Chain A
Amino acid sequence: MLGRLSKVDHINVTIMSYSSILQIGDSQIVNGFSRALAVQREAEIFYGNEGNLPDFRAIVKPIPLPPITEDITYRFHHFNPVIKVKGLDVIGVTNSSILHVGNSKDISLEARIMHIRQLLPFGHEHEMR
């Protein structure tokens, strides 16, 4: 089942981080996974070994994905087999995301983020300086 041709004149990506992919060309299987513990802290303190990820439910809880039970047969008729894009400007691609130019077969991405905010009590910010 021949896929179409993707033609992109120019791609402009500013930043890519945390297991993200810029794929130019065809691929068969793409598998991305990312676990993040985002801590916003009012005090400028960082120990480096903090954060025990399996403690948090969002990181460990399995995500239920609906199974595909229906058997689907599909046929494509490409009268003009070219996808033309003049320009693609992306500022950020992060957290196991993908910017894919071309055909693929199976793509499976998963990202898990636990967000914690630690604020100092009102009126005590000067103590941490």
Chain B
Amino acid sequence: MNFEVYNREICVGNIKITGVASSSMVMIGDTETIQLASAFDTPPESLIIGPFVPLAPDVTSGYVGETI
């Protein structure tokens, strides 16, 4: 595919943004490749109603791509 772009005048007044969150991007300029990914999870069992139980302590280090 051949992609040809003719850029002329571009002027923006004011930009008001409340939030830029979880791997999102606000860009003023050119770029070639953009790769944004985000994973959000709140399954039904993550809503715990009952006596308070602390979460499991941080022990294992099995992260993606981490070399031990």
Bound-state CA distance A92–B18 (Å) is 6
Instruction: Kindly provide the distance from the CB of B29 to the nearest chain A CB, expressed in whole angstroms.
Output: 4
Contact B32 A112 (CB under 8 A): no
Contact A85 B15 (CB under 8 A): yes
Known: A4-B30, A60-B62. A109 touches B37 (CB 8 A): yes
The SS class assigned to the B binding surface is strand
Total contacting residues, chain A, CB less than 8 A: 86
Contact A109 B48 (CB under 8 A): no
Contact B52 A104 (CB under 8 A): no
| Binary contact readout A45-82 vs B (1 if CB under 8 angstroms, 0 otherwise) | 10101111111111111110100101111111111111
Contact A120 B35 (CB under 8 A): no
Total contacting residues, chain B, CB less than 8 A: 61
Bound-state CA distance A42–B53 (Å) is 12
- List A contacts of B52 (CB < 8 A): 41-43, 45, 118, 120, 128
Contact A77 B48 (CB under 8 A): no
Residues of A within 8 A of B (CB): 3-4, 6, 8, 20, 26, 32, 34-35, 37, 39, 41-43, 45, 47, 49-63, 65, 68, 70-121, 128
Query: Across the two chains, which residue of chain A brings its CB closest to B38?
Result: A111
Instruction: Kindly provide the distance from the CB of B62 to the nearest chain A CB, expressed in whole angstroms.
Output: 4
Instruction: Kindly provide the distance from the CB of B63 to the nearest chain A CB, expressed in whole angstroms.
Output: 6
Known: A94-B20, A119-B48. A83 touches B54 (CB 8 A): no
Query: Across the two chains, which residue of chain A brings its CB closest to B32?
Result: A105
